[in-house]
Structure 1
Amino acid sequence: MDIGVEKILRGQIIEHLKELASTSGTVTRDQLWDFDLDGTTHRLIDRSRGIRNPASMLATLSIMSAPDGPYADQDVDGSLFAYDYREGSINGDNAKLRRAYELELPIILLRKLAPSIYIPICPVYVVDDDQKKRQFLIALDADLLTIEQPSNPTPLERKYVSQITKRRLHQPEFRARVLLAYKSRCAVCRLDHGKLLEAAHIVPDSDQDGSPVVENGLSLCKIHHAAYDGALLGIDTDYRIHISPQLSKTNETPIIKYGFQQLSGAEIALPARPQDQPDTDRLQVRFERFKAAC
């Protein structure tokens, strides 16, 4: 395939994949296996390997990273993402990933969330090939292609790369895990339209205890997320909803009446698995802040 044609095709695949994942933040193995683009089926995942090297393409199309996998894929000091060579020689499956590096072609990073469920991070780029460490370095944004020494960024570059990694990798993973736990519905109003749902931190991620873990998260629609962050809505350790006096005394417009006032005292919807349910210590910390703001 001509490189110009391949770049266009990759761009189309990536945009369509991002749209497919926009509702829940995830895609299934079946969707990746039978990925339809304008009536043509593309395989975005390999049947048994963690790398997809289509015969018709010049370079790797996708790589998979699994927390329970056999490879030590990881963030490098909170910045770039390290992807280990596949087993065997430095060539084999690795050769086509090296071609993606040489040709600066965008690829897809598939982060395994659960069996047959993946978070697509794309486009990403291979920016370094360390044959001694047997690993590639993956940049999560095209802007990072300008870094001269990806394996040794300057302090300013490292700060910028870390910000991008948080936005492109950690935040999507947090949202996907939270929405999966809450079955893609708002914990407050039960709205189940994924594109209107966000993952809210109970304790903000700027705090020491604000880790991006499911028990520190709530699946909230955009309006209830804004209300929660603005201390207009609180949730106590019994999982009951409290509404700020600023809203409880407001004229009863439909959104205020049905979206807030009538929910006061109700219990939020909880994840089925106890380990995914909101951490009560964190809820207490956040609820005290809510009461102080009332």
Structure 2
Amino acid sequence: MDTTVETAVRLRVIDWVRQRAEANGGFLHRQELLSFRIDGRDLPIIDFSRGIRNPQDFASTLSIVTSATGPYDDVEAEDGLLHYAYRKGDPFSGDNRKLRTAMETGQPLILFRKEQPNYLTPVVPVYVVDDEPENRRFVIALDEAFRFMGEIRDLAEPQREYARRLARQRLHQPAFRTRVLLAYDTRCAICELKHGSLLDAAHIVPDSEEHGVPTTSNGLALCKIHHAAYDQNMLGVSPDYRVAVNRALLDEVDGPMLRHGIQEMHGREIVLPRRRADRPDRDGLAWRWERFAAR
């Protein structure tokens, strides 16, 4: 395939992945990625059985999949960059050759994070910015700017902090959202709204706190209005899983959104994940409840 044509197709695929994931709630199902078609032809976006997708007529890799339980040593480093291990075989042929071509040409890739079986969180676009033959791995960055920052192995501290901030925004937060929304079957724990694009993963203990970890038990799937209300202590969730609305807000007279969307949630029990391990941590809820009650 001509390079210009490949780039155009690649960008269309990336755009579709981004839009589809947002509509779902931040993630895609494995089957819709495998059955993707473009211009009347099949073009699976991921490989059926491997963690790398190299379409036959593409010069460069299209996508990579990372998983904490995968067979390769793919790790996110403290500098906010992903170290992606060479695939099996000759380091200068096959999958590794197409990843190296992506680095040389600057082609954008799709990174998928496998949070649960069959569900993948896309991070788009990402770029191969370095090759470390001595360590048998490539370095993947979340911003094209890293291609022009000079020696990746010797980044200045401001550049490292930028990479770490990107990792929090584009890796950790979307992964947290995926885990929480899937635990709650993609519905708001308070009002049961089921539109993924209108749902967020709200931290019970904020991530600015030392114990505000991005685990499912520290999250609540909330629609955007209830997430905002929760963050502003307009409503709270007690350790026994009941919703309480701020007294001043309960007494306020406004339109139907306030009445039906917030005030009528007072006293309601939240919807809980089916898996007990995913349910909100009661100690975290108690910590947050104290701050709500003090308002």
| TM-score in terms of structure 1 length | 0.97
Partner of 2:274: 272
Question: Do 1:24 and 1:180's aligned partners in 2 also have CA atoms closer than 8 Å?
Answer: no
Question: Do 2:25 and 2:198's aligned partners in 1 also have CA atoms closer than 8 Å?
Answer: no
Q: Secondary structure at the match of 1:55?
A: coil
Deviations 1:200-220 (A, max 9, x none): 000000100111110000000
Shift of the alpha carbon at 1:186? 0.4
Partner of 1:203: 205
Deviations 1:120-177 (A, max 9, x none): 1111100000000111110112233222122221110001111111111111100011
Amino acid at match of 1:5: V
Q: Secondary structure at the match of 1:215?
A: helix
Question: Do 1:214 and 1:277's aligned partners in 2 also have CA atoms closer than 8 Å?
Answer: yes
Shift of the alpha carbon at 1:252? 4.5
Partner of 2:219: 217
Amino acid at match of 1:84: A
Q: Secondary structure at the match of 1:247?
A: helix
Q: Secondary structure at the match of 1:151?
A: helix
Q: Secondary structure at the match of 2:115?
A: strand
Partner of 2:169: 167
Amino acid at match of 2:5: V
Q: Distance in 1 between matches of 2:227 and 2:39?
A: 36
Amino acid at match of 2:180: V
Match of 2:245 among 231, 243, 246: 243
Please tell me whether residue 35 in structure 1 is matched to residue 60 in structure 2.
Answer: no
Q: Distance in 2 between matches of 1:48 and 1:243?
A: 49
Please tell me whether residue 234 in structure 1 is matched to residue 232 in structure 2.
Answer: no
Q: Distance in 2 between matches of 1:265 and 1:80?
A: 45
Q: Distance in 2 between matches of 1:244 and 1:66?
A: 42
Q: Secondary structure at the match of 1:132?
A: helix
| TM-score in terms of structure 2 length | 0.96
Partner of 1:106: 108
Amino acid at match of 1:43: P
Question: Do 1:205 and 1:211's aligned partners in 2 also have CA atoms closer than 8 Å?
Answer: yes
Q: Distance in 2 between matches of 1:276 and 1:28?
A: 20
Partner of 2:58: 57
Q: Secondary structure at the match of 2:17?
A: helix
Q: Distance in 2 between matches of 1:173 and 1:29?
A: 16
Deviations 1:85-120 (A, max 9, x none): 112221232111111001110111111122222111
Partner of 2:180: 178
Shift of the alpha carbon at 1:20? 1.1
Q: Distance in 2 between matches of 1:70 and 1:259?
A: 47
5+ long unaligned stretches in structure 2: none
Match of 2:156 among 150, 154, 174: 154
5+ long unaligned stretches in structure 1: none
Shift of the alpha carbon at 1:9? 1.1
Question: Do 2:79 and 2:161's aligned partners in 1 also have CA atoms closer than 8 Å?
Answer: no
Q: Secondary structure at the match of 1:260?
A: helix
Partner of 1:16: 16
Partner of 2:48: 47
Shift of the alpha carbon at 1:78? 4.6
Q: Distance in 2 between matches of 1:78 and 1:197?
A: 30
Shift of the alpha carbon at 1:38? 4.3
Amino acid at match of 1:143: A
Deviations 1:1-21 (A, max 9, x none): 222221111111000011111
Q: Distance in 2 between matches of 1:47 and 1:160?
A: 34
Q: Distance in 2 between matches of 1:172 and 1:178?
A: 10
Q: Distance in 2 between matches of 1:238 and 1:165?
A: 34
Q: Secondary structure at the match of 1:19?
A: helix
Amino acid at match of 2:138: F
Question: Do 1:128 and 1:136's aligned partners in 2 also have CA atoms closer than 8 Å?
Answer: yes
Question: Do 1:214 and 1:276's aligned partners in 2 also have CA atoms closer than 8 Å?
Answer: yes
Deviations 1:58-97 (A, max 9, x none): 1111111111111111111151111111122212321111
Partner of 1:5: 5
Question: Do 1:53 and 1:59's aligned partners in 2 also have CA atoms closer than 8 Å?
Answer: yes
Count of residues in Structure 1 that have an aligned counterpart in Structure 2: 293
Amino acid at match of 2:38: L
Range that drifts further, 175-184 or 142-151? 142-151
